[in-house]
Each structure stands twice: as C-alpha cells, then as structure tokens.
Chain A
C-alpha cells in the first residue's frame, strides 16, 4: 500500500508570492491533516479535512488555507508569503476523523521563502 505522497518535495519562493502544496493520502483514508514544522516551534497543527469539509483549524492566519477533493486528495495554499513561513509542511492521513485513529505522515514539502 502506497504511503502519503506530498508534492513538490522542495519549493523556493520569494516574499509576497503564493504557493500551493499537494497531498495524496493513503488509499482509503478520508481524513487529511496539515502541520507546519520549524526548528523552534516543532510541529504545529494547521487544519484537518474530512469528506471535503474542514473539521478543525489551528491558530494560523487566514493566509493559510486548504481544501480537500472528492478523492480525498488535499491541497494547502499560503498567500502573501513571509520569511517566517519557511518550514517543512507535513501532511498526515487517517481512515476517519477523531477517535483512536493513527496518523500517518508524508515526507513533507520543504518551503524556503527568500
């Protein structure tokens, strides 16, 4: 069974630009969560989608948004990039939302904002 796939693996952008990251969950998984990982803050929850609906949202500004498609694939968008948005963005999938479900992560997209 293929794991969680994230594309692209690396991205370099400049301040003010916008970026879209993609995530394909494990086959059969319907919940997709996004996390931001930085050396100082560790992993921080961005949002979770289940059945094309955002179920939970972390404490990030509105510049961070996402969506989920009917095939459970998800995209995350960051507009008006800032230097502080440089981070590893991780996507995780699980079969359902909430409860005792295990989270499986992809390898992430390393975003560098110059």
Chain B
C-alpha cells in the first residue's frame, strides 16, 4: 500500500465550479501537509500548507485536514481556466522527507 493515495482523475469542470481534490494516507505520524500546483513542464508551486487538523483558507483555496480519518482535501472556489493544472498533495512526519500523491489532473473549461 502506498503511503499517500490520490485519485489521478482527470477531472474536468466548467468555469466557476467548486473543485474538490482529495488524498488519503496511511501513516498516522504525518503532521505536515501541503498542496502543490504543477503546470506542464514546470516544477510544483506551493499553494497551501498546514500542520493541524481543520480548515485553512487563502483566497479561493481552502485546505482541510482530518487526521482522525487520515484524509485531506483542497477546495477551489470559482474555478478559473488558469487553475487547469495537476494538483499534488504532500505530507511528512518530520518535515524532512515528504511523501507525494501521484497528482490529480484538473481542466477548467471556459
């Protein structure tokens, strides 16, 4: 079993929709959680970072962590065509070595 599981998609939504991206994990020691956005032929760009259960909001993005269920989510409100990218979740127990999901490919259709 992989440390982190993420639905690869692809996910296709109309502009303005709310997008929900999810990851599950098996290691209860994970305490640092990040979401990255990666455009084609680019490195991952940090979107959200949290190290506690609950919600964290930044503009149109909300990161949610449920440690009891070992489940994290990223919500994108009012999705835009520029949000079309691959979204990666990442998590770590120590903050040294991060385990990544394989990424969810998102397309926002104008």
Interface residues of A (CB under 8 A from B): 4, 6, 33, 35, 41-45, 48, 55-56, 58, 90, 97-108, 110
Interface residues of B (CB under 8 A from A): 32, 34, 36, 41-46, 49, 51, 88, 90, 94-103
**A79, chain B: closest CB distance, angstroms:** 23
Which residues of chain B have C-beta atoms less than 8 A from A102's C-beta?
Answer: 34, 46, 49
- Contact partner of A105 (CB less than 8 A), chosen from B32, B41, B44, is B44
Which residues of chain A have C-beta atoms less than 8 A from B103's C-beta?
Answer: 42
**Interchain CA distance A33-B96 in the complex, whole Å:** 8
Interchain Cβ contacts within 8 Å, total number: 61
Which residues of chain A have C-beta atoms less than 8 A from B98's C-beta?
Answer: 33, 43, 45, 103
- Contact partner of A43 (CB less than 8 A), chosen from B46, B95, B100, is B100
**Interchain CA distance A44-B90 in the complex, whole Å:** 11
**Interchain CA distance A102-B34 in the complex, whole Å:** 8
**B63, chain A: closest CB distance, angstroms:** 13
**Interchain CA distance A75-B49 in the complex, whole Å:** 27
**Interchain CA distance A106-B100 in the complex, whole Å:** 16
**Interchain CA distance A35-B46 in the complex, whole Å:** 15
A41 touches B102 (CB 8 A): yes
- Contact partner of A101 (CB less than 8 A), chosen from B45, B95, B101, B102, is B95
**A42, chain B: closest CB distance, angstroms:** 4
Which residues of chain B have C-beta atoms less than 8 A from A33's C-beta?
Answer: 96-98
**Interchain CA distance A41-B2 in the complex, whole Å:** 10
A98 touches B43 (CB 8 A): no
Q: Which residue of A lies closest to B31 (CB)?
A: A100
A98 touches B96 (CB 8 A): yes
Q: Which of B34, B94, B95, B101 has the most CB of A within 10 A?
A: B95
**A85, chain B: closest CB distance, angstroms:** 19
